[in-house]
Chains A and B, each alone.
Chain A
Amino acid sequence: EAGVVQSPRYKIIEKKQPVAFWCNPISGHNTLYWYRQNLGQGPELLIRYENEEAVDDSQLPKDRFSAERLKGVDSTLKIQPAELGDSAVYLCASSLAGDYGYTFGSGTRLTVV
Chain B
Amino acid sequence: QKEVEQNSGPLSVPEGAIASLNCTYSDRVSQSFFWYRQYSGKSPELIMSIYSNGDKEDGRFTAQLNKASQYVSLLIRDSQPSDSATYLCAVSTGNQFYFGTGTSLTVIP
Contacts and interface: CB of A to CB of B under 8 A. Distances in A.
A43 B49 contact: no
Interface stretch (A11-19, A64-72, A103-111): A103-111
A85 interface: no
Q: In the complex, which range does the number of interface residues on chain B fall in?
A: 20 to 34
Interface size class, chain A: 10 to 19
B101 interface: yes
B94 A43 contact: no
Nearest to B8: A40
Given A42-B88, A99-B92, A99-B94, A104 B43 contact: yes
Contacts of A43: 44, 88, 99
A42 B43 contact: no
B21 to A, nearest CB: 14
